[in-house]
Amino acid sequence: MSNLKGRKVILHDMCLRDGMHAKKEQISVEQMVQIATALDEAGMPYIQVTHGAGLGGNSLQHGFAMASNEEYIEAVSSQMKQAVVSVLLLPGLGTMKELQSAYNAGARSVHVATHCTEADTSPQHIAYARELGMDTTGFLMMSHLSDATSLAQEAKKMESYGAHTVYITDSAGFMLPDDVTERVSALRDVLNPETEIGFHGHHNMGLSISNSIAAIAAGASRIDGSVAGLGAGAGNTPLEVFIAVCERMGIETGVDLFKTMDIADEIIFPLMDHIVRIDKDSLTLGYAGVYSTFLLHAKRAAERFGVPARDILVELGRKKMIGGQEDMIQDTAMTMAKERGLLTQ
């Protein structure tokens, strides 16, 4: 892929949003500011800051963070010298009123996220983000569940609603590089030249970096990741490693490699409750194509019902459970426990 020399990509750090999943939503405002300030100094152009589930995420189902989204966003954005603060919004969970509040607090970019076949739930939210003047991204989650042609049709819808960028989102860390190439190429064939394509990977199969490079080769210009990989499942694309690979290949990110490495080792790793890595359960997420956020939910269900988390995850993959169905994890584990004679009632 020597033809990528000189290619410019925009990086988007997720450790203060996707990383909330790995921290059970427990990152303080002070920690957010410390991490974001360091990322800003390293030249990170976009930093996502919200509850793990995005705007509207503070709830019994998704867990309660240590502060409101507005408090996090305002604290971080007020300290930024060059980085843009972004948010995640899932229509049906986050509202346009909450998007307005996030904007008022300092957010200037948004990922409007839908399941990969449900772009038609996003037109109002994308249009409103554009009305506010935000950098607006359509974010097609669990993209491995849709073939390339169908995914391109959904991306075209998001573009028609006003999205500046459309993301292929490998929420399960399931895709192989050829899968990414096929999908990015399909989007590039139908989207307007000025519409950017992004890729959001997870490291459950160890392929997030190679998949991100494949995305760039096929025409993507925005890449999500997380310093030290802090995120759901085995984590997001570890940005300090990805930046090093980009430098070797001549891909220009504009982000300081050594500063990013220092943030990973000196700030993020000491913050982790558990080492975010590929273990048997996170590997199962990628192998079975399960939403990465389900990992800790499945582990809690395993402790409660005595069914191995890996078995629960495989069953969730068989059922093709998607983001937003977290409540079904407990139900699935309970049913499996009954079938195995682990519950008498």
170-199 per-position pLDDT tens digit: 999 999 999 999 999 999 999 999 999 999
Close Cβ partners of 157 (under 8 Å, ≥ 6 residues apart): 119, 120, 123
Distance CA 276, CA 153 (A): 34
Confirm or deny that 340 is annotated as ligand binding.
no
Confirm or deny that 115 is annotated as ligand binding.
no
Distance CA 304, CA 89 (A): 31
Backbone φ, ψ for residue 223 (5° rounding): -130, 125
- What pTM was computed for the model? 0.95
Distance CA 279, CA 287 (A): 12
Confirm or deny that 17 is annotated as ligand binding.
yes
Q: What pLDDT is attached to residue 343? A: 87
Is 280 in contact with 136 (CB distance < 8 Å)? no
Q: What pLDDT is attached to residue 220? A: 99
Distance CA 208, CA 138 (A): 20
Q: What pLDDT is attached to residue 321? A: 87
The rounded radius of gyration (Å) of the Cα atoms in the chain is 19
* Inter-CA distances, 72 with 55, 124, 133, 137, Å: 11, 25, 21, 21
- Determine the residue type at 289: G
Distance CA 244, CA 86 (A): 24
- Give CA angle at 10 (258, 232), nearest 5°: 75
Q: What pLDDT is attached to residue 322? A: 86
Neighbouring CB atoms inside 10 A of 271's CB total 16
Q: What pLDDT is attached to residue 105? A: 99
* Domains, the chain, with CATH or none: 10-271 (3.20.20.70), 280-340 (1.10.8.60)
Q: Which of 21, 144, 164, 203 is catalytic?
A: 21
* Residue of 275, 236, 276, 241 lying closest to 255 (CA atoms): 241
- Determine the residue type at 222: R
Confirm or deny that 188 is annotated as ligand binding.
no
Distance CA 287, CA 300 (A): 20
Distance CA 20, CA 232 (A): 8
- What's the pLDDT tens digit per position in 38-73? 999 999 999 999 999 999 999 988 899 999 999 999
Q: What pLDDT is attached to residue 15? A: 98
- Determine the residue type at 224: D
Distance CA 290, CA 312 (A): 10
Q: What pLDDT is attached to residue 224? A: 99
Confirm or deny that 202 is annotated as ligand binding.
yes
Q: What pLDDT is attached to residue 345? A: 63
Q: Is 21 a catalytic residue?
A: yes
pLDDT in tens, the chain (345 residues): 558 999 999 999 999 999 999 999 999 999 999 999 999 999 999 999 999 999 999 998 889 999 999 999 999 999 999 999 999 999 999 999 999 999 999 999 999 999 999 999 999 999 999 999 999 999 999 999 999 999 999 999 999 999 999 999 999 999 999 999 999 999 999 999 999 999 999 999 999 999 999 999 999 999 999 999 999 999 999 999 999 999 999 999 999 999 999 999 999 999 999 999 999 999 999 999 999 889 889 999 999 999 999 999 999 999 988 887 888 999 999 999 999 999 876
Q: What pLDDT is attached to residue 125? A: 99
